[in-house]
Amino acid sequence: MSGLLSNFRNTIIVSFILALVIVIGYGHGPQGHGLVYAQAIFRWLHVLFGILWIGLLYYFNFVQIRVMPQIPAELKPAVTQYIAPEALFWFRWAALATWVMGVILAYSRGYILEAFTLGLAGGYTPGVDMGFTFIGTGMWLATVMFLNVWGVIWPNQKRALGIIEVDADAKAKAARTAMLFSRINTLLSIPMLATMAMNQTVFG
C-alpha cells in the first residue's frame, strides 16, 4: 500500500478506477444509462475539476501570496521556478475543464439560455425563473473567473515567473496584475459557490 501511495500517478489512477466502478454502478440505477445518467457524470466531472480549480485558487491566495514576502530571498526560486509553474498548469486547465463541464451540464439539462439570460429568456415568471437568475449569476461569475485565468492571470504569471523574459519593471507590474486578478477571482468565488451549492437544493 505504501508503494502505491508513494507514487502520485498510481494513486490517481487507482482513485479513478474506483470512481469508475461507482459511476458504472449508477448506470444500473432507476434512470438506467439515459440522459439523466450522462448529466450525473457531467456534474461529477464539473465538481471534480471545480474542486481542483478553486482549491488551487485558495492555495495561491490563502498561502502562497501571503507567505511569499516572509520567505528568504535565496529560497524564493524554489517557489517561483518549481511550485508555482506546476500549480498554475493544473490551475488553468482545471478552470477550463470546470467551465466546459458546467456549460455541457447546463446545455444537457436544457437551461443554458435561461441561465445566461438570468431567467429572462421567454419571459420571467416570479418564483419559478428565479432559479435561473441565481444559477445564471453563478455561471456568469464563473465565466468571468475563467476568462480572468486565461486572459489575465496566466499571461501575467508567465512574465512574473520569467517564463517570458521581460525587464524588471514589467515583471513587477505583471506580478501585481496577476495578484490583483487572482484576488478578484477569490472575491467572486464565494458568492459563485453559494449559487452552485444552493441552487440544486432549493430549485432542483
Q: What is the pLDDT of residues 134-192, one digit of tens each?
A: 999 999 999 999 999 999 999 999 999 999 999 999 999 999 999 999 999 999 999 99
Share above pLDDT 90 across residues of the chain, in percent, rounded to a whole number: 82
| Domain edges within the chain | 1-32, 34-203
pLDDT at residue 56, as a whole number: 98
Q: How far apart are CA 105 and CA 6, in angstroms?
A: 35
Whether the predicted pLDDT of 123 surpasses 90 = no
Interval 36-72: pLDDT, tens: 999 999 999 999 999 999 999 999 999 999 999 999 9
Report the alpha-carbon angle 41-54-91, nearest 5. 90
pLDDT at residue 59, as a whole number: 98
Q: Give this prediction's pTM.
A: 0.91
pLDDT at residue 44, as a whole number: 97
Find the length of the chain.
204
pLDDT at residue 122, as a whole number: 61
pLDDT at residue 51, as a whole number: 98
Nearest to 114 by CA among 93, 140, 96: 140
pLDDT at residue 200, as a whole number: 82
For the segment 18-22, the average pLDDT, to the nearest whole number, is 97
Residues 105-124 as b or e (16 or more Cβ within 10 Å = b): bbebeebbebbbebbebeee
Going from the C-alpha of 146 to that of each of 149, 165, 200, the distances in angstroms are 5, 25, 22
pLDDT at residue 202, as a whole number: 87
Provide the 3-class DSSP secondary structure of residue 30: coil
Q: How far apart are CA 200 and CA 131, in angstroms?
A: 9
